[in-house]
Chain A
Amino acid sequence: MNIILVLEQALNGLQLGVMLFLMAAGLTLVFGIMNLVNLAHGSLYMVGAYLATYFYQLTGSYLLGVLLGLAGTLVVGIAVELVALRTLYERGHLDQVLATFGLILFFNELMAIVWGRAAIYTTLPAYLSGHVEFFAGLRYPLYRLVIIAVGLAVAGLLWFVVTRTRLGMLIRAGASNRAMVAALGVNIRLLYTLVFGFGAALAGLAGLMSGPIHVVQPGMGELILIDVLVVIVIGGIGSIRGALAGALIVGMVDTLGRAFLKPMLATVVSPVAADTAGPALASMLIYLLMAAVLAVRPAGLFPARG
């Protein structure tokens, strides 16, 4: 285990954390403001990945594919909000979980019908596929650095919008007392639709950026969704700050656990035992972390409001 490997894995962890944050931010905003549990958030991630891949292959331009994919996810998100989710705001969490579970089945099958069940592999354009050499021995893929940069930029933008703009003020006001905001003459339904669409676009962004790293296939959204749920539970549901902290913690713990738990165990127990226990423990690590956090702080690290 050398320092370069550790650095490389730390960057991988950061990249995963940023990706989780993009998903978690939308999910936690929607929960904090509309009090809606949206399991179909992972489906929007999948829709973003499919649309961007489709438009990239259609136009031949990666950038155009990304932009059209984002716009498409925004439209799909708003349509889902208008058709199905709007009626769920006043319902209990149980109904919301079940209805959005139904939406997941619908979207997975829709993608399978339109683009087939087989996994789609995408390639990167030449200007994104190189490596960056920090110093001798540490070469890191440029694309992953771009993801980290985009994610951190989005985090900054979110912070700016929520704390420094009129829209952000309305969002915060809507989160703490929606009846009052509506009474002051704000179109709260429009605000909800906007927030949902924005969250959908963020999920789409995460999905389309993950396309070239992982594969694009039906059901890809659920794999990350459950990790994202862990993130927002650790961070405190409804808190963007919590989502960022949770995402970075989970990203790091998961990546470093998968990389180093086995060799570390091998120094304590026999290599054979480490071979079996290492991967099993690594895949359970973030859930154990979540249980530990909740045992100490049942409302997460940064509870939204008391």
Chain B
Amino acid sequence: MNRRTAILLAGFLLLAAVPSIAALLGQPFYVDLLRRVMIFAIAALSLNLILGYGGMVSFGHAAYLGVGAYAVGVLAHYGVHDGYLQWALAIAASALVALVIGAVSIRTSGIYFIMITLAFTQMLYYLGISIEEFGGDDGMRLEVKSQFPGLIDLDNGNAFYYLVLAILVLVALLGHRLVNSRFGMVIRAARSNEARTRAIGFSPYPYRLAAFVIAGAVCGLAGALLVNHTAYLTPEFMNWTRSGELMFMVILGGMATTAGPVLGALALLLVEDVLSGWTQHWQIILGPLLVLSVLFFRRGLAGLLFGKDE
């Protein structure tokens, strides 16, 4: 077993032990915090697929978080609490939205791509605000969590925690398989040299679009988890600062690595939690911290932990 596998396994065991440790310490709050971290880690993993491996700087990834959350929230609003249906709709709807946004955005590149993805997300954000039926500005409560009768009860904090952990591991493993498959090779090739990719006979557009849709669908699932976690839903899920946070998680952890986004989500949310417990003006510390990390911390946490090989 090499060093990398050992660290990943240790990290997994540590995450799996969190509910027991929290119970031992009498601090159930940590289960909540880590569940939130893992949900964002799933979202960051999905962003990493297009941002890290595909080189597509999407500044609007929070859109799918919102679409996934609204899919669950809206069905619940109309009395449909079946979890399978809710989550399937969350995944399908965010995949569809990603298909539309991606089809337009991927035609452009560079700074245009950044701004278009941002603008589309902003559009969905305003759409969320203006629909009074679903609470408009204030959002709405999720009275009943997604129901999976006979399988799992999400009201049980620990059970929900392990479900999120299982999904996180599954997404990480599948993502790892995906980027090392033929499909993933084309995505990565198009990122490092588009002209050569074309020259060997691949048109990057459909591959990029497919990656964009997959990333959107996975992030939609994270949105469905998030709305069950908070039991509340607002357009703020799609706020552009949320997209920025997701990007920071990927960069902080290490782009184009499997463990990076998870580490990044952990680091960012824990730092936010510590700072906000410290002072209400925590953003004045976080802001410069983020600037410094961009300027000087290029390798990311995964690079720090695993050395250069990943």
- Whether A222 and B240, one on each chain, are in contact in the complex, defined by CB atoms closer than 8 angstroms, is yes
The DSSP consensus for interface residues of chain B is: helix
| Interface contact A283-B129, CB-CB below 8 Å | yes
| A-B residue pair count with CB separations less than 8 angstroms | 121
A residues less than 8 Å from B107 (CB atoms): 294-295, 298
**Contact between chains at A290 and B119 (CB < 8 Å):** yes
- Most-contacted residue by chain A among B114, B119, B129 (CB, 10 A): B119
Q: Tell me the complex Cα distance, A112–B279, Å.
A: 13
Within 8 A of B (CB), among A274-291: 276, 279-280, 283-284, 287-288, 290-291
Q: Which of A112, A284, A298 contacts B112 (CB 8 A)?
A: A298
Task: From A37, A99, A232, A299, give the contact of B114 (CB < 8 A).
Answer: A37
Q: Which residues of B contact A280 (CB under 8 A)?
A: 126-127, 130-131
* Beta-carbon nearest neighbor of B239 in chain A: A222
- Cβ < 8 Å to A, chain B residues 128-173: 129-133
**Nearest Cβ distance between residue A188 and chain B, in whole angstroms?**
21
Quick one: which of A101, A112, A287, A290 contacts B281, CB cutoff 8 A?
A: A112
How long is the Cα–Cα vector from A95 to B297 in the complex, in angstroms?
A: 11
Interface locus among B30-38, B208-216, B218-226, B285-293:
B285-293
Q: Is A29 interfacial (CB 8 A cutoff)? A: no
Contacts of B110 in A (CB 8 A): 93
Q: Are B283 and A109 in contact (CB under 8 A)?
A: yes
Contact B118 A102 (CB under 8 A): no
Can you name 14 A-B pairs with beta carbons within 8 Å? A88-B295, A98-B248, A104-B287, A106-B283, A106-B284, A109-B287, A226-B118, A226-B240, A229-B115, A233-B112, A233-B116, A279-B130, A280-B130, A295-B104
* In the bound complex, CA of A291 to CA of B291 (Å): 31
- Asked if residues A108 and B283 are in contact (CB atoms below 8 Å), the reply is yes
Interface size on B, residues (CB 8 A): 42
Q: What band does the interface of chain A fall in when counting residues whose beta carbon is under 8 Å from B?
A: 35 or more
Interface status of A213 (Cβ within 8 A of chain B): no
CA gap between A232 and B289 in the complex, in Å: 29
Residue of B nearest to A290 (CB): B119
B123 part of interface (Cβ distance < 8 Å): yes
Identify the closest chain B residue to A84 (Cβ).
B291
Find chain A residues with CB under 8 A from B294 CB: 95, 98-99, 102
Contacting pair A233 B287 (CB below 8 A): no
Which residues of chain A from 251 to 306 have any CB-CB distance to chain B below 8 Å in the complex? 276, 279-280, 283-284, 287-288, 290-291, 294-295, 298-299
A284 to B287, alpha carbons, bound, how many Å?
30
Which of chain B's residues have a CB closer than 8 A to the CB of A284? 123, 126-127
Instruction: Supply 12 further A-B pairs (C-beta < 8 A) apart from A87-B295, A107-B287, A110-B284.
Output: A93-B111, A98-B290, A226-B118, A226-B122, A226-B240, A229-B115, A233-B119, A283-B127, A283-B129, A287-B122, A290-B116, A294-B107
Nearest CB in chain B to that of A277: its residue: B130
Residues of A within 8 A of B289 (CB): 102
Q: Is A237 an interface residue (CB 8 A)?
A: yes
* A167 within 8 A of partner (CB): no
